Chain A
Amino acid sequence: MKECKALIIAGSAGSLEVLLKVLPDLRTDMSFPIIIVVHRKQGADFLLADLLSARTKLKVKEVEEKEEIMPKTIYIAPSDYHLLIEKEHTFSLDYSEKVNYSRPSIDVTFQSAAEVYTNKLACLLLSGSNADGVNGLETVTHYKGVALAQDPSTASVSYMPEQAILKVKIAHILKPEDMASYINSLNQPLTVQ
């Protein structure tokens, strides 16, 4: 990947433990934003932000609508809204119908981000029990972005990354212990030309 403008990490059941493992090892001078979309119960938003910010020196915050997307920041999609990306690199929220029985839907965020960041987008799909995110990864590859999946043998619920690997051309299948170093390797926008 030549230049990464955004990384989205998404998942459902069993993805939180992976995030908690990966975050502490991330560089703190990230040249791109990290956007996290996880399925969860309504209302536990602050908890998740607190939980994750305890594991990293990067700024962690829940998305505010129309907020400008900045590097060196980890953004968390609020529960019960779809998260979309605008052309001018701001966030939009949307309370429309659930997609794949989910809101936020991973597909919605992946697809919307793919249209904006095209080949400068990396999306990582983690553990989960449904196939939300798989169509979105397909869109990401359509725009020549990088599709990534957790190694299903390491996932506490393997269905989501399995479906992704089955249906989409995945660039790298990653074990949780290898994710941080892979993500850190994307962090060199100016040296590779």
Chain B
Amino acid sequence: MSNQITISDEQIEFLLADVLAWYGYDFTGYSRASLRRRIHRVFGLDKQVSFAEFRYKIINDKSYFKRFVEQITVNVTEMFRDPAFYKTLRNLVLPHFGTYPFIRIWLAGCSTGEEAYSIAIVLKELNLLNKSLIYATDINPIVLEKASQAMFPMSQMKQYSENYISSGGIKDFSSYYSANYSLAKFGDELKSKIIFSTHNLVSDHSFNEFQLILCRNVLIYFDRSLQFNVLQLFDQSLENLGYLALGTKETIDFSPITKKYKRLNTEKIWRKQGERV
């Protein structure tokens, strides 16, 4: 890593300006240290030799641009990641929706879908899945395509099963999927309650009103002012008394919406407190 060509800060700004001008994707509010590392990484992975060529290819080759977006955004995720979080979701958040006629959940930055299926499993075990709909969105169409296949590597299932059990899961985790060579295929019942769709948190607007919004480990990639904008978007998209869930290291503290929200125990979950008079 240390011996390859270094792309300068100025060149990175050029590239971000190009990508915004040509494709309308705005990465200028992303934290630079991480973004820079991701750009260097794809540059090295694809054995690019010069910045000029790299830039030309991104601008002129639409399919390469898709790869570029897939590679510079982080798509690392797992099922029932942070089991304690899912336990709180199961025991303290989702039961509130028992009397609601219809439950709308927005999972923003869903990547390859592992969290969407995890939430669907918890809803099913609480007998809420039938009246629920999970809107799972991501900036990146390639990962959404993977997500909609409902297939994950078998090699991960042992870990996921352990996560599931420590999150309070009550069934045999393997009852949720069928083994298909090296892949585990999750049942259609879960999938039928998830809508996968592209949505760009930077530039797209609110598209519905939800009882629960989850966006975990996405805000860490944004600078403070973009974080505030996105939190405001969530606030506009959340019903009164709805819940907002962020990643372990993320917070709404210091943001303009913080006064309207009350934190739930130790997890990064906040409840909207209704309109103040």
Contact = CB atoms under 8 A, between A and B. Distances in A.
Nearest to B73: A96
Interface string A90-113: 001111110000000001100110
A87 B32 contact: yes
The 6 closest A-B pairs by CB, nearest first: A84-B33, A139-B2, A96-B74, A94-B34, A92-B31, A95-B217
A65 B246 CA distance: 13
Interface of A: 64-66, 78, 81-82, 84-87, 92-97, 107-108, 111-112, 115-116, 135-136, 138-139, 142
Task: Find the residue from A95, A96, A136 having the highest chain B CB count within 10 A.
Answer: A95
A142 B2 contact: yes
B170 interface: no
A81 B34 CA distance: 12
Nearest to B1: A135
B250 interface: yes
**Residue of B31, B33, B34, B36 with most partner-chain A CB within 10 A:** B33
- Chain A CB count within 10 A is highest, among B2, B31, B76, B247, for B2
Contacts of A111: 1-2, 37
A131 to B, nearest CB: 13
Interface residues of B, number: 23
Contacts of A86: 31-33
A84 B34 contact: yes
A174 B34 CA distance: 32
Contact of B220 (A93, A138, A139): A93
Contacts of B9: 87
23 contacts: A64-B249, A64-B251, A66-B223, A66-B224, A66-B227, A78-B249, A82-B34, A84-B31, A85-B33, A93-B220, A93-B249, A94-B37, A94-B74, A95-B247, A96-B34, A97-B76, A107-B1, A111-B1, A112-B33, A112-B37, A135-B1, A138-B2, A139-B1
A6 to B, nearest CB: 14
B193 interface: no
A107 B37 CA distance: 12
A87 B36 CA distance: 11
B55 interface: no
Interface string B245-257: 0011111000000
